[in-house]
Structures are given as C-alpha cells and as structure tokens.
Amino acid sequence: MGGLSFSPKRGRKGQKGQISIEFMLLLVFVLVYVTSTILPTIDWANSSAEEIARIGNAKIASQKLAGAIDEISIAPGNARATIKLFVDEKSSIDCNFSPGGQRKIDFNAEMILPDAYNPYDRNCSAIAGRPVVCTGDTPVSAPQSVAVTCRLDAGSAIINGKRFADVIIEKDSLGTVLVKYA
C-alpha cells in the first residue's frame, strides 16, 4: 500500500517545520512593513518637530528683543540692558523701523518640508527651486516720540546662523534708543 503515511511522529515534525517557515515569512513581512512605513513616518515627524522649533525660536528671539526695546524706551533717564538671543541656523531676525511707520522685529525661518505643520500660522511662501520661508513679526510698542536705531552688521540682520548673540539696548540722555551687538 503506497501513498500517504499517517504516522503521528512524522506528521508532527512536518507541522513544526511548516509553522517555523510560516513564522519566518510573517516576520519578514512585519520587518518590511516597519522599514517601509513606520520608520519614514518617524523621520518625517522628527523633521517636522525641528522645523516647528526653528519657527518658535525665531519668534521668541523677536519677542525678547522687542520687549527689551520697549522696556528701555520707557525707562527714565539713561538705561541699558544686555540680552542674549538664540536663533537657529536657518532663521534670522531683523529690525524693521520705517520712519514714521510701524516699528517691528521681523523673523524668518526656512522650512525644509513644504507640508510641515506650522502652529504659528505665519506667512509661508515658496519660490521655485528654493525652500519655503515662513515669516512673522513682533511689533515694538515704544512711544513714537522715542527714536530707535539699530546699528548692526550685515544690513539689518541681527542673527544669521545657529548661535547666541549678546545684544545691547541702551537709551542715552536725549532719549534715543540704540540697538547693537555687545
């Protein structure tokens, strides 16, 4: 009698081998899924968090500078303050004081991921072939009677690059506020 043998010992060994092969195939599919779906999502989330932090750091630096200018401008007599500002390497902040117009501190942050979530709801614009740049500003509420001057290098850029910068804000006896590097 040829044909199939239903020996209990032989059948269990075959089943154990089949279960091991099925488990290995399942493990391979799980690893392929993790490397093709989950890991890129984690990398994207990390990049998005870094970009949101970049915008936040630039906004905080502009608020800190605007606040210091406001405080010094209303202080009686001569006044001086030194503040430490930090802005990420792909961000910048600038003084924007137009004569007779609104005075503000502008900030820019470059975004690598064009679809990254922007919690600050700032204007973000893309120019073909260039990264997306998000901009915003913080108004300086110093009285219009107080002259505010920014004497900083590189045009009016206060910070470009990942670094800390000491900035001095001082008011002289004439009431003029000067913003400069320490």
pLDDT at residue 12, rounded to an integer: 57
- Domain of 119 in residue numbering reads as 39-181
What residues contact residue 47 under an 8 Å CB cut-off, 6+ apart?
A: 112, 113, 116
Q: What is the pLDDT of residue 170?
A: 95
Which is nearest to 135 in space by CA: 101, 103, 91, 165? 91
Residue 79 lies in a domain: yes
Domain count, the chain: 1
On whether residue 160 sits in a domain, the answer given is yes
**Residue 122, domain member (yes or no):** yes
Residue 58: CB atoms within 10 A of its CB come to 30
Write down the pLDDT at residue 65. 93
State pTM to two decimals.
0.72
Q: Is residue 159 part of a domain?
A: yes
Q: State the Cα–Cα distance between residues 84 and 61, nearest whole angstrom.
A: 9
Q: Is 81 inside a domain boundary?
A: yes
User: Mean pLDDT in runs of 10 for the chain (182 residues)?
Assistant: 53 67 91 87 82 86 94 93 87 81 86 55 60 84 87 54 81 90 79
Nearest to 54, CA basis, from 110, 7, 97, 98: 110
Instruction: Specify if 167 maps to a domain.
Output: yes
Instruction: Determine the residue type at 115.
Output: D
